[in-house]
Chain A
Amino acid sequence: MYLKHIFKIAYLLLISSFFYSCDKQSTDSETTSNVSNLPVADKDNGGIELPTGFGAVTVAESVGKARHLTVDNNGNIYIKLRKLENDKGVIVLADTTGDGKFDVKSGFADYVGTGVHLYNGYLYVSSDTSVYRYKLENSLVPEGAVPETIVSGFPTQRSHEAKSLAFDNAGHMYVNVGAPSNACMETARTPGSPGLDPCPQLEFQAGIWQFDANKPNQVHQVDGHRYATGIRNSVALEWNTSANSLYAVQHGRDQLSNLFSEFYNDEQSAELPSEEFLKISDGDDFGWPYCYYDHFQDKKILAPEYGGDGKKTGRCENVVPPILTFPAHWAPNDLLFYTGDMFPEKYKNGAFIAFHGSWNRGPYAQKGYSVVFVPFKDGMPSGEWEQFATGFAGADSVMSTSDAKHRPMGLAQGPDGSIYISDSVEGKIWRVLYYDEKLASLD
């Protein structure tokens, strides 16, 4: 105890002397000039809370119902929308004056969707049934550009329809094709209904499909390779270059107590199952709809639609487990591996995950609505996950999803290493910057 105090005091002295010396020679020190080049953070960080040393600038508000976004080398932002704004499904923002506020807005694409991704001089954009690409000219999508269709023919589905995209370094594109149901019940979402066995939805859905990123006019069911199966829905999908592997974060099933009240009470239904962080190799099967992960028992459990009772593991024993789990129903909607130089060392190659926030934890409070960080080493989590950005909901307690003022949806890294976060409710876009410990300690 006593020793600890001495350490604390010594530490404080060390830090303060460091700041003192910095202050004295600050005029030309590199850190200070870097920091002063950054746009000034909003006083309230645009309404979100961040770790010490970080700040956020609201770069735009009300762009529409934003889904994923991406930022090009010039700092222009492309945002995909779930609902057309002035007949446009992709919004482009540019900061022409360099003050951090984005002053130019244009748009293109007459379809809604989720995915938007830059790859090899093209902008890839997905609707819920196709993937298109636009050739960039002078690093912009030219006005009136007609896209090439890369893949079409994804099944029309009424839930989990988002086609999120990822690209590896070998010319492949990966597309999430979510399950068209909660748990492949014979009669959808009906109490006690058994699951279809085998589940026919697995043939062309509930997995990740791999395509040639450069070949036009592919058709999902003809040209696609089912890279991984048994994934209910993974809007959060990303290729990790340093690990040379695909990763996803899965939305777990819901309504355990509504559908199987003999095995689950409402509290269990709110806390189960885990949202699963998956490292994906070609051919992996993660078990949906037969299995779900229970982070209290630390194993895959047999789903009640298939004879499970909340404890039995049955056919789930050899199913590939997650590399990390998150609380139930938080709705992971984007994944970003940080490769920038702006943030402190611990963030390098680590994962940021945007949780859209739950709707299916009732009668308990809804949760999630945040961006978390997971440190990584050698392609695997190297520590516990932690909250990175919070406060999006703008309320201490969210009982109904519509109580949340903002819901974090998409993540993108800018050329300078700052990260961008999109909001699906009002279309607010934040840019998160790291200033430094010194600046943070001054305010």
Chain B
Amino acid sequence: MNKIYFVFAFCAWGLISCGGSSSDSSTTETVAETKPTQEEPKEEKPQVHPGMGIYKTYCQVCHQANGEGVPGMNPPLTQTEYVLGEKERIIGIVLNGLSGEIQVKGETYNNVMASHSFLTDQQIANVLSFVRSSFGNDADAVTPEEVAAVRASSGN
């Protein structure tokens, strides 16, 4: 009897102290997190982005699993001007490759990225959409039509 009472008291204390400390940030987070599921399932993101596999196979070796690149060698893909900027330019980089001195986030890179024109329009659209929505990036998707247009104009 005594024991049970003690357990109850302990639990209650736990609840109070937890509730107290979470009032600022974590409660709001929980609300924000649970909201989409309460609404409609269509908000759920697909578990694996269709561009993730292509990223792993063709980009990750140089730009790394976290998109941070390799210091002095391969530039990051995290909120860079290139990744978030005009879509034509980033599509062109994947199609034609890139070389020569560039500035990315205040660091100079002067290396060679090969052309990836062997990827299909759909694959390039997927991988760029993945990059533009991963690693803290939040930019809109790239469509296969946009890739096709750049490919046609660059003869690749």
Binding site for B on A (CB under 8 A): 65, 82-83, 158-159, 187-191, 254-255, 258, 359-360, 362-363, 399-403, 424-425
Contacts and interface: CB of A to CB of B under 8 A. Distances in A.
A359 B118 contact: no
A158 B110 contact: yes
B53 to A, nearest CB: 11
Contacts of A399: 64-66
Interface string B44-63: 00000000000011101110
B110 A363 contact: no
Contacts of B118: 190-191
Interface residues of B, number: 28
Nearest to B66: A400
Given A190-B118, A400-B67, A401-B68, 20 more contacts: A83-B108, A158-B110, A158-B112, A159-B112, A187-B114, A189-B114, A190-B115, A191-B118, A359-B70, A359-B73, A359-B74, A363-B65, A399-B66, A400-B65, A401-B64, A401-B71, A402-B70, A402-B71, A424-B71, A425-B71
A158 B72 CA distance: 11
Contact of B115 (A65, A187, A362): A187
Contacts of B68: 400-402
Contacts of B107: 83
24 contacts: A65-B72, A82-B72, A83-B108, A158-B99, A158-B110, A158-B112, A159-B111, A159-B112, A187-B114, A189-B114, A190-B114, A190-B115, A191-B118, A359-B61, A359-B74, A362-B56, A363-B60, A399-B65, A399-B66, A400-B65, A400-B68, A401-B71, A402-B69, A424-B72
A188 B97 CA distance: 10
B21 to A, nearest CB: 29
Contacts of A363: 56, 60, 65
Contacts of B110: 158
B115 A359 contact: no
Secondary structure class of chain A's binding surface, majority of residues: loop
B112 A359 contact: no
B146 to A, nearest CB: 23
A258 B116 CA distance: 12
B31 to A, nearest CB: 32
Contacts of A65: 71-72
A187 B114 CA distance: 8
B64 A258 contact: no
B124 to A, nearest CB: 15
Nearest to B72: A82
Contact of B64 (A82, A189, A191, A362): A362
A362 B111 contact: no
Shortest 7 CB-CB contacts between residues of A and residues of B: A400-B64, A402-B68, A189-B114, A400-B66, A359-B70, A401-B70, A400-B65
Interface string B22-50: 00000000000000000000000000000
B60 A362 contact: yes
Given A188-B112, A188-B114, A360 B65 contact: no
Interface in B70-100: 70-74, 76, 99
